Amino acid sequence: MNVRGYAGGLALLSFLVLSVTGIILMFHYRPVEEYAYLDMKSLQFDVPFGMFLRNMHRWAAHGMVILVLVHMFRVFLSGNYKSPQGFNWAVGVVLLVLTFLMSGTGYVLPWDQPSFESVAIFVRPTLLPFYVFHCLVLPAVATGLMIVHVRKATESKEGFPLKAGLVLLILLMVCSILFDAPLEEATNLSVTRNPSKAPWYFLGLQEMQVYFDPWIASVVLPCLIIVGLILIPYLDVNKKEVGHDSIRERKFAVSVFCFGFFILWLLPILVGLFLRGPGWNLYMPWEEWDPGKVVAANPVDLNLFLSQRLGLDFLRNEVVGALLGLVIIGLYYSLGVVFYRWKGRRSATVRELGAVRYAVVAFLFLTMMALPIRMILRWTLHIKSVVTLPWIGLNI
Amino acid sequence: MMMTQDDRNPIEKKSSKGTWFVLGVLFFLVFLWAIYDAMFVRPSWKGYQRAFNQLELGKIQEEYEKAKRAFNAEDDRLDRLREPVADESEISLRRIRLKVEAAEVRLEGGEFRRLERKLRERRYRLADAGQQLEFTKGRLEEIYYKRKHASSSGEEVAGLKKEYSDLERKIAELEKEVATKEAEEAELQRQADDYYVEVKKWKDAERKRLEPLASLETRMKGIRSRRPEIRQRVIADLGDGGTVDRCESCHVAIDRVGFEDQKNPFKTHPFREQILVKHPIENFGCTTCHGGQGRATRIKGMPLGPGDFVHGFVPHWTDPLLRGDFIQSSCIKCHEDQRRFEKASVAMAGKRLFLDRGCSGCHILKGSETAPKVAPSLRKIANKVYPEWMVSWIKNPRGYLPHAKMPRFSFGIDEEGKVEKIVSYLIGSSEPDELPFGSDLEGNQEEGKRICETVGCLGCHTLGNQGGEFAPPLDRIASKTTANWIYNWVQDPKHFNSETQMPSLNLSSREAADLTAYLMQQGEGPQRDETLRERLKDPENEKKGFQLISQYGCYGCHEIKGFENAPGPCMELTAIGKKKVRDFDYGDTKVPRTWRNWVSGKLRDPRMYQTERTTARMPNFDLSWEQVHSLTVFLRGFKEEKVPQRLIP
């Protein structure tokens, strides 16, 4: 059996399973706050095969998210995103985002406590919009894009992995028999669980909220990730042969991607999923969660830190502090220019990229590397933010 | 597109047939498993219903066998009787059946056959005549329509008119004919019936004889034809979004007499007569009183992992089945005012304790806001007791009075100082009161003793080893109250405290003085502590005392000047029954985290959850474990549930 190319096809199969089970579930669900949870209970205990269908839907949804991620990683490694598949890669990235959104909106529908809290972070919770997006808008758009994506991709590729598909279906059914989809207590507006965790695929972003403003962690970062991913085919000028054997020839591209994918994306998800407990404190899996746990953390802003270390009181001024931070960020990004000047002449790759593409690559790369730098600053020097702009309520 | 790699690879194709087969079989088996799981494993109530049906069937079968034996014995007896007998019920079944047979033989005879043939022929003729009559009537309607139509369009109608009247005449004739034929048919039928009457008579007799057995047979047939079905009660106006209780899907016989000695879930409600009949399931459901997850139909959890959905012992179900005495906590949701309540004696004991110890003085509890303060007013306390006594009393009331109602506060660090500050405020805020009867006492102890024993003091107060327990003991009163105060109090108790239950004894000043002299012999007078009295006068201490009183809520039980409208300083208990385990603060204790443990621990030792940072303020009421238990049960009932008016008697 050849494992290559399975994930994409299996993700498609998961989507089909989700559509079928989802349509049947719609017959037993009313998207109204008063009834939604009760309908969940009747699915659990009343409707013939209700729990089985719900389990299938839930596990297939998790499966689809995982498969889509694997698929993207595999396509990147094999270099299949390169011309003429650049556009299809972009469609794929959009489908990835749609998968997250479909899964995320579905998370709200049971209207139990986690559902409610996952919404309450962003907006005043109402059920109907999530229902319409989950059941109609997002699947419709995703279906259209999938048709485009699959047609383009299969022009030159192997067919659908039937055997693996059957295995997937068997696994999904076994999981649905053995493990019930969680349903916690009915929504109570006046309480918040501790810890209140988002669905796992958003935990990376929630983990980033430890280090960044919510606005940056949940809006700016995702946007940059999406834009960066879409741009990859247009930035990668390496014309080396497509396929696994070319990894050695694309050291920079593969290592940067792997770093971003594993260290900056999956690792925080795992940390958020398994190591975070009440108060978003770190707990080892064998430690008992204690809501009363206190961890002394005394982070300070960079300008205050410097003024204390250097004995320069004028740095404490808000305006001076903000300017200082901006200057530091400017200096950080000018590293790209320095590198261009220093290496630009001798490196064939840099020459091939050209000034504009080089600038975009440098910006995205430095932005990505800023995350671990920022995290390390927080762990070692307890720097809360580099720039504080109280006038627009933003900390960077 | 649906082409696999295998199609292009002949070597793989060979081996793939085996793989396909295995996968196909596996898929099919898992599919069957899913169906089996959804139809038989998850709805575990089906199994219970089947088991119950077998149980009920067995019971009836037993009854049937017994009835049959009795019947046979009786029938044998009747059979031995000599014919004829007056009453048909005295004829044995065998003989009845012979009679039926004989009557049926007559029906086979040629005479009856001829009669029957004749009757059949008459019936056909009658049917023919009736048909002709119907057709003619139809024709009449048609002509009537034609005539009307013609006359409205101005055509010739004379012919139609004639035809109409002809038809009418014909109908009259036909009707007469039909009537004649009907009479003939009825006559023949009567003749035939005579043959049947005999059969019917004996068949009825047979049925009547077998009736006791037949009803049992019908019941058994009914049970055999039962299919498992969800049995649920839907009560729209109970609980959040309506109560749906499916408990009876397994507890089939809960409201049926005759299953008292069965095991659960097939048992009759143990208090069916006393409780269930008065709270019909169709009005109250089950979970209203018992808790649990009414909608759930699965007794088992997932195939992997424990869990009892229906009784609510699963994560995220906040209202699990109430067990043991805790079921009583449901009674007080509605039966608030009942003082004596046999079936909820524990909860009611808790309620009495709650009122008696004045819990609602500090804790808000909906429904008992207006309860009177349980302890004496302190507005005029300075006139009554010695400051030295007050200090030792507050520190440990039971040191003076072994059954004191007043709790111990355990003020912690600098207890002595805190108590002194409180006393300082109490004395400072006490209203000066001129003693209405002055203080000219020069009494005779002997006379006082006589008065004490005759006027009825010992009806309520204890002195020595005798007397009642309604009012405080007088054994050590000399260390507590001043002579002046006793002298004035016994003459007019209502003067100091209009709420007091002590009656006026109509004593003269002379008698009061004697009584006072006698009482002042009970116990030793206080050791005057001048430095203490000096400290009590310090306004700084008085101010701190005010803060301490508001912090510890002394005014919850006592009337104290300056705290007339102060709110209860403690946690509201109105919804204590549904407070979640994770919302309790367990301090540094290792108590297993349950609702019951926290509440009973707090009641038994109010300081147990205290840490360096948190100060527990609730005093220790020195409750026994039994008292703690009944209070815990009582408090469990406070879930802020709305009970519909229609259910409140």
Please choose, from the candidates A131, A112, A284, A261, the residue with its C-alpha nearest in 3D space to the C-alpha of residue A196. Answer: A112
How far B279 CA lies from chain A's nearest CA (Å)? 26
> Do A51 and B295 lie within an 8 Å CB cutoff?
no
Angle between helices A138-154 and A6-26 (to 10 degrees): 150
Q: How many CA atoms lie within 13 A of B570 on its CB side?
A: 24
**Range name among A318-322, B64-68, B164-168, B194-198 with the lowest pLDDT average:** B194-198
For testing contact with chain B, the best of A113, A169, A177 (most B CBs within 10 A): A177
Judged by a CB distance cut-off of 8 A, whether residue A158 touches chain B is yes
Angle between helices B110-152 and B158-224 (to 10 degrees): 130
Per-residue model confidence (pLDDT) at position A240: 66
> Do A163 and B26 lie within an 8 Å CB cutoff?
no
Q: How many CB pairs under 8 A join A and B?
A: 84
How far B36 CA lies from chain A's nearest CA (Å)? 10
* Tens digit of each residue's pLDDT (9 = 90 or more) over B375-405: 888 888 888 888 889 988 998 888 888 888 8
DSSP characters over B529-594: -HHHHHHHT-HHHHHHHHHHHHHHTGGGTS--TT-TTPPP-S---TTGGG--GGGS--TT------
CB B319 within 8 A of CB B350: no
Which residues are B466's β-sheet partners?
B463
* pLDDT exceeds cutoff 60 at A290: yes
* Tens digit of each residue's pLDDT (9 = 90 or more) over B289-335: 898 888 888 876 555 555 788 888 888 887 889 988 999 988 888 88
* Tens digit of each residue's pLDDT (9 = 90 or more) over B451-478: 888 888 888 888 877 877 788 888 888 8
Please choose, from the candidates B320, B258, B301, the residue with its C-alpha nearest in 3D space to the C-alpha of residue B59. Answer: B258
CB B247 within 8 A of CB B255: no
Contacts of A183 in chain B (CB under 8 A): 316
> Do B37 and A169 lie within an 8 Å CB cutoff?
no
How far A230 CA lies from chain B's nearest CA (Å)? 27
* Tens digit of each residue's pLDDT (9 = 90 or more) over A134-157: 999 999 999 999 999 988 876 555
Distance CA B216, CA A16 (A): 56
Q: What is the CA radius of gyration of chain B?
A: 46
Here the tokens at position A190 are 């006046």
Judged by a CB distance cut-off of 8 A, whether residue A32 touches chain B is no
Q: Which of B5, B296, B304 sits opposite A158 (nearest CB)?
A: B5
Q: Say what the ipTM of the complex is.
A: 0.85
Judged by a CB distance cut-off of 8 A, whether residue A183 touches chain B is yes
Q: Residue with structure tokens 């059954």?
A: B403
* Tens digit of each residue's pLDDT (9 = 90 or more) over A30-54: 999 888 998 999 898 889 899 999 9
CB B67 within 8 A of CB B75: no
Contacts of A110 in chain B (CB under 8 A): none
Per-residue model confidence (pLDDT) at position B301: 56
* Tens digit of each residue's pLDDT (9 = 90 or more) over B92-121: 888 888 888 888 888 888 888 898 899 999
> Do A48 and B240 lie within an 8 Å CB cutoff?
no
- For chain B, give the longest Cα–Cα distance: 141
Contacts of B246 in chain A (CB under 8 A): 45
Q: Residue A14 — pLDDT band, cuts 50, 70, 90?
A: very high
Judged by a CB distance cut-off of 8 A, whether residue A285 touches chain B is no
How far A47 CA lies from chain B's nearest CA (Å)? 10
Per-residue model confidence (pLDDT) at position B306: 56
Q: How many CA atoms lie within 13 A of B163 on its CB side?
A: 15
